[in-house]
Structure formats: structure tokens, C-alpha cells
Amino acid sequence: MTTPSAPCVTVNGDQVPLTGVATHTTALDWLRGRGLTGAKEGCAEGECGACSVLVARPGTDTATEWTAVNACLVPVAALDGQELVTSEGLGTSSDLHPVQQELAVRGGSQCGYCTPGFVCSLAAEFYRPARVSTGSTTGGSAEPCDHEHGPNGVDLHALSGNLCRCTGYRPIRDAAYALGAPSDDDALAARRQAPPPEPRPTRIAVDGAEFVRPASLAEALTLLTERPEAQVVAGSTDWGVEVNIRGRRAPLVVAVDRLPELRSLTVGDDMIEIGAALTLTEIERRLDGRVPLLAELFPQFASRLIRNGATIGGNIGTASPIGDAPPALLALDADVVLASPRGERVVPLADYFTGYRETVRAADELIRSVRLPLPLASLVGFHKIAKRRFDDISSVAVGYALEIADGAVVRARIGLGGVAATPLRAVATEDALVCRPWTEETVRRAAAVLAGEGTPMDDHRASASYRSAMLGQSLLRLFHTHPETHTDRQEVPA
């Protein structure tokens, strides 16, 4: 299908123009304005999933993958030339989609407000190629296989960003575990074998505001040089909250999420390089556990809905002191590659943050990639302390990467979040560990040092004293959860 040059979105199979749509308009508001009211606004910041919709994106196992995203965060202008499916496009009351059917017969909907969002998130899992190829897809059973996956291969973490206040989650889980495989005549399943929509240059101007999707990195850098006030967005999981909750507007928004120069991932002999515009879900699947510390991070980072949109470059670029990726990347000794019209420069992540939401990045620079040196440390851990296990903001986040040899710590890198105006390295604690025996005595002394790192503050998430206490406990937890690293097993509590 040839996409017309005029801005438009294919919604449930129909091309719909974006003529006259304000550039800050979210996909959710635009859809509801067109009468597609299945998607709801519950929180306007990507925490409830009531607004979930499906977007055709490049796949890892097939040419195209149906990806669930928060419509409340994505500017509809960012979907120019893309394909979108809402709950209405999945099925009707007289011809239910398999996901809708199972939720209905198993009592998975009560007031129904959140149900369309659950339907879309679960439909993305229903169509996930790896689920279909590895799980038992006969359907009909609601018994769980383990704490995360059902007997049909369904991963319940696909629903980690969807909240329900009245039904209870067991019937929703039962519906998820009862799903079979897509039928042979399922058009959305067949669509996965065709290439995804090609990203195309976009320029939308309404009422003095512009939304631009450049065709290349060079074009994007030129635009930032000419318009330093531009707001750069990728998944818009941060900017979307600013627009919805704080009423922020930008005269120019530049979308970089589909730039090919920012979307590669390469593994070399001495380095792994990750493109800044890759989403966390894409990175997780492409690395496939190759970086154990990141493998620990990903399930704890917000929700699957957010990880489907959030990029690694965006999480670094916002420079939030409570972002989850920076502590892990600091522990991995990551470098940031900055591109500008003058060329590229490499900055250690430890030197990248200069103040609260301030960095060394100039207005005409973009984060092109993140580099992780090899080999990786043998003892790693990511500890996130928050009020909820999943889909929550950190009170404290700690990333560890330690090398133990002959019973002693030969190298230590510890990244911290939530305890200062910026993410930071726990340098004093690292010094307290290196060249010392990896014993409980050493760890307890270093834990006391770690408890004093940073400048934690009191806020609605945690007190300063609690944050300090959690830092110290975190190092002890790392030690006791890895008894295989102990040279004197007598020191491990029974």
C-alpha cells in the first residue's frame, strides 16, 4: 500500500488524514475525537494502560510486530504514515476477537473502563511470534505454568502496565492463559509477514507550532543547530507526561525515534554499542540476556507498555535523578556517543550529568548511541526500591558490577539513582571494596560507606534516612544472594 504524502494514519484499516490537528494532540485524544472511544484516559501519564492501542512496528522474529503502546503519551503526529489498531478494530460485539471472547466468558470485565486497554495489551502478546512458536497454543486451560508464563506461552508481564480496580486479576489471568494460536484466516497475524510501514519525513505545522520527523541524522542535527529551542522526542514517554499533566507546549518538536543511524545494535570483541533510539523492549530481545545486569533491569523498568516506547537514549537524555537505566549503565562503565554537525564525541556516562536535569549535551547534539566495554563483570545486580514491585518510580536504584578473583574484589563499579540531584557513581564505596577480601566483614564496612553516599532528601516517596538505610542494606543483599562468590561459606547465615 502506497502511503500518501499528506500526513495521515491508517486506523483499523482506513487511512485518516491529520489535517489541522494540533501538534501536541495525543493519539488518545485524536482517536476519541473521531468516535473511537474504546481507549480511555485513566491517568494521562502511562501508568494505567486504559489507553493501550496496537501499532505496527519492525519485529525481531517476524517482519512486523503488533506492539502495544500508551496512546495517551504518543503525539498522533508521530504516527504519520503508520498503522494503528484499536479495540474496535480487533472485534465487534457480533464477532469477538479471541482475546475479547476469553475475557468475556471468564469474567474478565466488570465496569469495563479498563477492559479495552487490557484487550489491546493482551492482543499484542497473542500475536507475539515467540509466544506462538514456543508456547502450547491449544488454549482452553487456565492453569499457570510458572509465575510469569502460562502453558500457552503467554507472558503476564505483557499486562504489567494495565491496572484494574474492580474485576480482580485472576479472571484476566485465566483469560490470558486460555488463549490459543491465531487462526489461519487472522488478517492481523498474516500482517506480520509483510514489512512494517517505512518511516517517512514528516512536517506538520498548525497554529505556529511544528512537528518534524527528519529523514536522516544529518537533517536532524541541522535542524537543531537552526532551532536550538526544539524539543527532541523519541518514545515520548517523558514528554507526553509534560504535555498532559503540566500543559507543556513546544514551538518545535523533532522526532528521532525512527532515524536509522540511531537504531543499530552491534556486539564486538571489546564493546557493545546500542543505538539511542532503540526501545528498551527491542534492546531486551536483541541482547537476549547477553548483558546480565540489563537483563535484571528491564523487568523492573516501568511496564511493558512503557518499555515498548521508551528508548535508552531518552532515559539518559532526560537526566532524571530517578531514571532506572543510568544506575545500571554507570555500573557497566558506559560511554555516551554525542553527534553534532561538528562530528562525534564520546563522554563517559559518569561525566555526562552536571546538575538536576542538566548534562554536557549541547543544544545541537543528539545522543547517537551508548557503548558498553567488554568483558563484563562476573558479579552484577540491579536493586530497585519502590512502593510497588512493578510499574513504579524508584525511591532508590542501585546497579552493581564487581569482579571477584581469588577471594578479593579486584574491580567495582556501583551506580546510584534517587539519592542525589543526578545519577552518580558510588566512588567511595568502590574504593572501600577494591583490593579487599570479599567477606561479610568487608561488605559491612563498605555498606556503612554506601549508606553515606549522595545527598538523599525527604519527599513523598521516601525519607532521606530510609534511602540511606536502603543503600547499605542493598550491598548486604548483593553479598548474601550470591553465596557462590564467597570463599568462606561459614560467614553466610544459615
Report domain extents, the chain.
8-191, 202-258, 378-494
How many beta carbons lie within 10 A of that of residue 29, not counting itself? 20
The amino acid present at 83, given as its one-letter code, is E
What does the alpha-carbon distance between residue 252 and residue 21 come to, in Å, rounded to a whole number? 15
Maximum distance among all Cα pairs of the chain, rounded to whole angstroms: 72
Q: Which CATH class is domain 378-494?
A: alpha beta
Picking from 260, 248, 249, 250, the residue whose alpha carbon sits closest to that of residue 220 is: 260
Model confidence pLDDT, tens digit, residues 90-111: 999 899 999 999 999 999 998 9
What does the alpha-carbon distance between residue 155 and residue 150 come to, in Å, rounded to a whole number? 7
DSSP reduced 3-state for 29: helix
Model confidence pLDDT, tens digit, residues 211-255: 999 999 999 999 999 999 999 999 999 999 999 999 999 999 999
What phi and psi, each to the nearest 5 degrees, are found at residue 325?
-70, -45
Residues in the chain: 494
| Locus of grid cell 539511542 | 276
**Residue 245: CB partners within 8 Å, gap ≥ 6?**
44, 45
What phi and psi, each to the nearest 5 degrees, are found at residue 295?
-65, -30
Counting Cα atoms < 13 Å in the Cβ hemisphere of 65 gives 21
| Locus of grid cell 494460536 | 181
| The Cα angle at residue 314 between residues 305 and 80, in degrees rounded to 5 | 65
**Residue 169: CB partners within 8 Å, gap ≥ 6?**
none
**Residue 390: CB partners within 8 Å, gap ≥ 6?**
157, 160, 299, 300, 303
Span 8-191 CATH architecture:
Roll (3.10)
Dihedral sign for Cα atoms in the order 452, 359, 252, 66: negative
Residue by residue, DSSP assigns 120-165 as HHHHHHHT-HHHHHHS---------SSSSB-TT--BGGGGTT---S
**Residue 95: CB partners within 8 Å, gap ≥ 6?**
none
Element holding 396 (H helix, E strand)? strand 396-405
Span 202-258 CATH architecture:
2-Layer Sandwich (3.30)
Picking from 277, 271, 288, 275, the residue whose alpha carbon sits closest to that of residue 254 is: 277
Residue pLDDT tens, the chain, 494 long: 333 369 999 999 999 999 999 999 999 999 999 999 999 999 999 999 999 999 999 998 899 999 999 999 999 999 999 999 999 999 998 999 999 999 999 999 989 999 999 999 999 999 999 886 655 555 555 454 445 688 899 999 999 999 998 888 999 999 999 999 999 999 999 999 999 999 899 999 999 999 999 999 999 999 999 999 999 999 999 999 999 999 999 999 999 999 999 999 999 999 999 999 999 999 999 999 999 999 999 999 999 999 999 999 999 999 999 999 999 999 999 999 999 999 999 999 999 999 999 999 999 999 999 999 999 999 999 999 998 877 888 999 999 999 999 999 999 999 999 999 999 999 999 999 999 999 999 999 999 999 999 999 888 889 999 999 999 999 999 999 999 999 765 444 44
Residue 35 Rama label (left phi>0; alpha psi -120 to 50; beta)? left
364, β-bridge pairs: none
The amino acid present at 201, given as its one-letter code, is P
What does the alpha-carbon distance between residue 183 and residue 329 come to, in Å, rounded to a whole number? 42
**Residue 101: CB partners within 8 Å, gap ≥ 6?**
91
CA end-to-end span of the chain, whole Å? 65
Read off the C-alpha cell for 212.
518534524
DSSP reduced 3-state for 19: coil
Rounded-to-10 torsion of CA 294, 297, 303, 309: -30
Query: How many helices and strands, by DSSP H and E, does the chain display?
Result: 18, 20
What does the alpha-carbon distance between residue 97 and residue 93 come to, in Å, rounded to a whole number? 9
Picking from 303, 278, 277, 233, the residue whose alpha carbon sits closest to that of residue 24 is: 233
